[in-house]
Amino acid sequence: MFKTIIKVFNILLKKLRSTKGNSLAEFAVTTAMMATLATTAAPRFASIGESAKEKKTMANIDRIIAAANNHYMESLEQEGRGRFPGQIKYNVAVGGVGLGEGQLTVDALETFQDNILPGLTSADDDLGSYFVYAFALSADDQDAVEQGILVSGSNAGYDTDAPFVADELRFQFSRALVDSPYQDGAYVLLVIPGSGTGTLAEPPALVVADMENPAKLHKILVP
């Protein structure tokens, strides 16, 4: 369908350029047809653009997930227990989703997925209660400001307790910052603490999202 529209549009454009022998009425009809085709094609072009952005941001989220998993495996080997970027220990939260008394990690993750995440659909929502920026240390982070990864109007938080998530993630990306393809997008994350001890220990859970629409544009990693 899309290729057909382009083909017809090009034919009409050639006809419009070659006005020799054409009447004013024919010229008007051709112009009207081109306007109709342009109106028909515009939503299709917009759809293609949005689809490309979604694919790009999901690919970026995959990269962040992979980097966080690398960090987890490295700390598992070096420290004896895995932890995600920003965690000082496996049972410490990053962001605003902790564990209730006796609550298991898997239950806290399920509650967040079912009751909270579906309501976070834009950068204007209350992201700061749950998420922190993945690549920004603070609102004054010069690198983050220069690359434009801070979203105006969003209340997404920053990891203020060492080891800082942005520092450890940047290390995985050779100090590079990953930017969202969306104008109001940026990457945020949270870590739900691991629970239990010994053989009953559960690993932490990582949620990475694009604040353009966290409910739709996110992925979860549980090692």
Is residue 18 scored above 80 in pLDDT? Answer: no
Position 215 pLDDT exceeds 70 = yes
What share of the chain has pLDDT > 70, as a percent?
78
Mean pLDDT value of segment 23-29: 58
> Is the separation of the CB atoms in 183 and 89 below 8 Å?
no
Say whether pLDDT at 32 is over 90: no
The pLDDT assigned to 94 comes to 98
pLDDT at 127 over 60: yes
Least confident among 5-14, 27-36, 52-61, 124-133: 5-14
Q: Could you tell me the residue ranges of all domains in the chain?
A: 2-46, 52-221
Mean pLDDT of 116-131: 97
Q: What is the pLDDT of residue 198?
A: 86
Query: What's the confidence (pLDDT) of residue 204?
Result: 98
Residue 191 CB contacts under 8 Å (≥ 6 apart), including other chains: 84, 86, 87, 93, 94, 95, 204, 205, 206, 207
User: What number is the average pLDDT over the span 111-123?
Assistant: 98
pLDDT-based confidence at 31, cuts 50/70/90?
Answer: low
Answer whether residue 223 shows pLDDT above 90: yes
Stretch among 6-15, 73-82, 109-118, 147-156 having the lowest mean pLDDT: 6-15
pLDDT band at 83; cut points 50, 70, 90: very high
Secondary structure of residue 115 in the 3-state scheme:
helix
Average pLDDT of the chain, as a whole number: 88
Name the burial class of residue 36, with classes exposed (0-12), middle (13-18) and buried (19+) by CB atoms within 10 angstroms of its CB: exposed
